[in-house]
A and B are shown apart, each in its own frame.
Chain A
Amino acid sequence: MRREIPLFITFIIGTALVVALFIPHEPFRELDHQFSVWFDIIAVFAFILGGGNLLRVHVDRITRKHPDRIYSMVTIVGFLGTLLIGLFKFGGDPGLTGNYIAQGTWFKVVYDAFFVPLGATMFSLLAFFVASASYRAFRAKTREATILLIAAFIILVGRTPLGYYLTFWLPEPLQFLHIPNLSSWIMSVPNLAGQRAIMIGIALGIIATSLKLILGIERSYLGQEK
């Protein structure tokens, strides 16, 4: 029963949502909406599970006297501090009545001072790693690599003022070779064709996997235990 009931739940939920597409009337339409809200509620518990797991891992590192335990303490302090400030709406309207992220709340300060700069800088750091990846990718060793290089170069230059100044002097009949125009054409024609083929391939894969899950053919998410 530990495996049969979950398979039955997956079948019922998946089938109901597929049926809701073909019979968009009550009760299926409302069922579709309610399941979406239920999913969001369970997702909040998944966040709680993630937070619990994070605490468990870092408390474990501290108790085992791991060499990096000082950083685990930083994670725990950051986690618990943000959690308490957000849940109790410190600095906002009296009690719990205000907006949790309104201007003036401590949670908004944590968001602006910690969350935004850390997240944005982490992602901007990737610009440097992408630059080193470009060095490797931009070596035209094969015909395919050359095509990739040319497409990437035109897109990169075509979105900057340099692209405009390089070819703005071209006469009207050759304007299609103006780098910003060429960049737009690559994005909206050959790139579109490639992306569309990838999307169709991915869609076929997802449809097949979803059917296997709903029909109980794919069961790996249940784990190995009986």
Chain B
Amino acid sequence: MNFSDYFVLWVGGLLTLMIFSFLYRDNPFYKFAEHLFVGVSAAYWMVVGFWTTFIPNLIGSIYPPSVSWFTANPEEARTVIASLYDQMWYWRYGRIVPLILGCMLLTRLAPKASWMSRWPMAFIIGYAAGTNLTRYLQSDFVAQIKATLVPLIVFNEAGFSLGETISNIVIVFGVLSALVYFFFSKEHKGWFGGTARVGIWVLMVAFGAAFGYTVMARISLLIGRMNFLGSWLGSVF
């Protein structure tokens, strides 16, 4: 192991212990690690955004020769520059618009000029509304309804399939009853209330499954950290 490997192992190990110290109670070591995490992660995402989006999609698009400033391989740079010049000129120079909108977004830091940040906010909201409307309409509404329309009596190659029949009945009536529970324009009484009650049970199974899955995911992360601590301590002793 070289110096940087030791550095990663020791710093990672000490920071892991600092975070776990919160299990005893809030303390200066935990606060140190927590504040460090906030600073490092904010800068990390800024750097990633800068090198993966800002440089190639903005600077590179407006001024393609700039690609060679940030690429070690001249051949790769030439290919990227050629592909950028293939784009229509108005789309390339059109990238000035998000540059201006992005600068306007920063006016939020100056209270007197903060009204200017409404323009980029309007773009973000419009984009999110436009994409979410079509995306959710296709994948979470139409596609889910379509997937629920399954045969209630299933015959496969071996003949009548009791298992698949029960599963399909549970899916169709489970979805319908849970949707009835979400329908608040009619009072939950009589057969409607009974169906809504079944809907609650279906939702409880879904919540229980989600809860169990989350616990498993967190525990596997915990095991990963314990393994890391084990390898760190193994390198020390």
Interface contact B127-A17, CB-CB below 8 Å = yes
Number of residues from B at the complex interface, CB < 8 A: 117
Interface contact A198-B211, CB-CB below 8 Å = no
CA distance A153 to B49 in the complex (A): 41
Interface contact B8-A210, CB-CB below 8 Å = no
Q: Give me 19 A-to-B residue pairs in the complex whose CB atoms sit less than 8 angstroms apart, sorted by A's number.
A: A12-B126, A14-B127, A21-B134, A34-B91, A35-B130, A41-B54, A44-B46, A45-B120, A50-B46, A72-B35, A78-B43, A114-B37, A130-B218, A190-B170, A193-B202, A194-B205, A197-B174, A198-B206, A210-B133
Which of the residues A47, A54, A210 comes within 8 Å of B129, measured between beta carbons? A210
CA distance A50 to B41 in the complex (A): 11
User: How many Å from the CB of A24 to the closest CB on chain B?
Assistant: 11
Complex contacts, B127 vs chain A, CB 8 Å:
13-14, 17, 35-36, 38-39
Complex contacts, A154 vs chain B, CB 8 Å:
212
CA distance A107 to B174 in the complex (A): 50
Q: How large is the interface on A (under 10, 10 to 19, 20 to 34, 35 or more residues)?
A: 35 or more
The answer to whether the Cβ of A56 comes within 8 Å of any Cβ in the partner chain is: yes
User: How many Å from the CB of A110 to the closest CB on chain B?
Assistant: 7
**What 0/1 pattern do residues 101 to 118 of A give for CB contact below 8 A with B?**
000100101111111111
The answer to whether the Cβ of B236 comes within 8 Å of any Cβ in the partner chain is: no
Given A14-B130, A147-B201, A74–B32 Cβ distance below 8 Å?
A: yes
Of all A-B residue pairs in the complex, the 9 with the closest CB atoms, nearest first, are A194-B206, A193-B174, A17-B130, A151-B208, A86-B47, A78-B39, A155-B212, A45-B102, A13-B126
The answer to whether the Cβ of A185 comes within 8 Å of any Cβ in the partner chain is: yes
- Interface-forming stretch among B10-18, B78-86, B152-160, B186-194? B10-18
